[in-house]
């Protein structure tokens, strides 16, 4: 095997697959893509409803657990991350949203020129092929990611949209246009009833390229340096340990957990922490692993006397059989669903400049996720017997920030991930989640839900006061699995990890390009923004190369 390349990309996830595609487009450029997981050949990845099996899959999911969250009854939050080609895009809910345009303008206001909404919109459009908006200035045609409305939505979606209109909330036909405020159906990344991951979109068409090497089951141990220039990567392969050489750049795209983990293992980060882990300090950079953000959520859950929601019951057997036949012959129905089919973006107060809560309808009887101590394993249970639905209150812009730190210096051991949930002064994160739960209750109290919504199972009508609901949130909240910010982009090396060109401050030949560079979490799902980051990173890298030549 050739061990010398122009570029080494670490992590074949939402961003890494894009970079491998774009950088290897020049047949004279040698690219190596590193992935710790196996190939993405599982049928659970291809079939949309297979995400239920992937949520706690022992081989295709890292299944991280956070440290005990002191403001959430010392619970360990579950952190599913994809461990296969495509990364988390191979196990996620396939939702295509981008957040508010102002989210990206805020990135620029924080000292990152080139990252305003108008400047990043072309990169969103570049990779998109939207079946439903062929002439929209907000959407692309001909890109690798197929985006569409599903052919089938659970009937509860229409009920929720009618309920939202009763409460004077707007119906939004396109969450990626001028604003995502309002309620509507969610578009998904699917084609012909199959998941579109970054691997299927960006790798499958170009795997034949002779200048592209894809290494799976490859654990990155550390970045290699000469002085303060990245020169390669030490990696554990099934056949043994190897040192790979990068003649131009090493690019970390291992995600908001993996990228800071590898930087710390490589001696880049807070000096005292590295010394405590017996890791020689290559370059002291205090921001590595800090500023972790995610979308916290808590949910209302209702029984239903009807079989309108998806469910497992004797009454549902004929319908489930029909859904099986629909998928077999038409590639639609329940098996082509991502389950989280619709929702809305709302303001908890008229003083909010933009929506601060997302409400997500789950038209099935979702179980409480069971978590155990991170050292003693875990058990996950997603669905219950019977029929019902949930409305999730999701906090879009939390004030609480956490960190990623090493537990030890073994690259095969998971790092310590601490969301530091609900640590913000004034408890605004908790208060906004409670406000979201109240809006969800108001929706269910409207006429369209009458006869469909039964007993409120969680938190239950005994929880009425702010104090009772805040207690419920602390006991029940989790995240939406959108970690960002741990290699934050910014002009100041005292606070940030990468500059606006995504180069690691103080190091040559090393960049980070994934969700970890977000200066602030965006108000939506993070997959498509991560693809955008990779598209822009590819242009930045190739532009720098041309300038150097």
Q: What dihedral angle (degrees, nearest 10) is formed by the CA atoms of 366, 458, 172, 396?
A: -90
406 Cα distance to chain centroid:
22
Of the listed 152, 180, 283, 482, which one is catalytic? 482
505 is catalytic: no
For residue 372, the tally of other CB atoms under 10 A from its CB is: 12
- Which residue has 């939050």 as its token pair? 77
- In 10 A of CB 395, how many CB atoms? 31
Phi, psi of 83 (to 5 degrees): -125, 70
Burial class (CB in 10 A: 0-12, 13-18, 19+), 546: exposed
Element (H, E) at 418: strand 416-418
Instruction: Give yes or no for a contact between 334 and 357, defined as CB atoms under 8 angstroms apart.
Output: no
Which residues, including other chains, have CB under 8 Å from residue 196's CB and lie 6 or more apart?
94, 145, 146, 189, 190
How far is residue 220's CA from residue 32's CA, in Å, rounded to a whole number? 12
What are the start-end ranges of the E strands in 285-407?
296-303, 311-312, 342-346, 357-362, 386-395, 403-405
Active site residues: 482
């Amino acid at each position: 095997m050739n061990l010398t390349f122009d570029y080494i990309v670490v992590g074949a996830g939402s961003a890494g697959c894009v970079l491998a595609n774009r950088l290897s487009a020049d047949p004279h450029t040698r690219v190596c893509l590193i992935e710790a997981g196996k190939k993405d050949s599982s049928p659970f990845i291809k079939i949309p409803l297979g995400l239920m099996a992937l949520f706690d899959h022992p081989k295709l999911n890292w299944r991280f657990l956070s440290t005990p969250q002191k403001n959430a009854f010392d619970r360990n939050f579950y952190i599913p991350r994809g461990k296969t080609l495509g990364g988390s895009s191979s196990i996620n809910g396939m939702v295509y949203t981008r957040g508010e345009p102002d989210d990206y303008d805020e990135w620029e206001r924080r000292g990152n020129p080139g990252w305003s909404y108008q400047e990043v919109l072309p990169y969103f459009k570049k990779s998109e092929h939207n079946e439903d908006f062929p002439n929209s200035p907000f959407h692309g045609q001909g890109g690798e990611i197929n985006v569409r409305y599903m052919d089938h939505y659970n009937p509860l979606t229409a009920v929720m949209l009618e309920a939202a209109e009763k409460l004077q909330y707007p119906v939004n036909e396109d969450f990626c246009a001028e604003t995502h405020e309002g309620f509507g159906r969610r578009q998904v990344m699917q084609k012909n009833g199959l998941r579109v991951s970054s691997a299927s979109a960006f790798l499958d068409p170009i795997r034949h390229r002779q200048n592209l090497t894809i290494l799976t089951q490859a654990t990155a141990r550390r970045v290699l340096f000469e002085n303060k220039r990245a020169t390669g990567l030490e990696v554990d392969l099934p056949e043994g340990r190897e040192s790979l050489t990068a003649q131009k750049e090493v690019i970390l795209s291992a995600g908001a957990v993996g990228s800071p983990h590898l930087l710390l293992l490589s001696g880049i980060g807070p000096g005292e922490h590295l010394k405590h882990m017996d890791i020689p300090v290559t370059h002291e950079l205090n921001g590595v692993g800090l500023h972790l953000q995610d979308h916290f959520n808590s949910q209302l859950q209702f029984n239903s006397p009807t079989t309108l929601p998806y469910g497992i019951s004797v009454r549902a057997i004929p319908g489930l059989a029909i859904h099986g036949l629909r998928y077999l012959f038409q590639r639609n129905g329940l098996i082509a669903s991502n389950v989280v089919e619709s929702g809305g973006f709302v303001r908890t107060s008229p003083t909010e400049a933009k929506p601060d809560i997302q409400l997500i309808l789950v038209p099935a009887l979702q179980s409480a996720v069971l978590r155990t101590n991170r050292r003693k394993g875990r058990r996950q249970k997603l669905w219950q017997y019977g029929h019902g639905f949930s409305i999730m209150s999701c906090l879009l812009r939390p004030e609480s920030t956490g960190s990623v730190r090493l537990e030890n210096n073994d690259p095969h051991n998971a790092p310590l991930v601490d969301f530091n949930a609900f640590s913000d002064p004034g408890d605004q994160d908790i208060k906004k989640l409670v406000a979201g739960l109240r809006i969800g209750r108001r929706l269910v109290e409207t006429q369209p839900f009458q006869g469909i919504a039964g007993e409120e199972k969680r938190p239950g009508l005994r929880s009425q006061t702010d104090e009772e609901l805040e207690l419920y949130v602390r006991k029940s909240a989790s995240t939406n699995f959108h970690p960002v910010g741990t290699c934050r982009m910014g002009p100041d090396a005292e606070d940030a990890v990468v500059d606006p060109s995504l180069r690691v401050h103080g190091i040559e030949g090393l960049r980070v390009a994934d969700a970890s560079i977000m200066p602030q979490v965006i108000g939506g799902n993070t997959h498509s923004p991560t693809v955008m980051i990779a598209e822009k990173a590819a242009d930045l890298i190739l532009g720098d190369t041309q300038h150097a030549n």
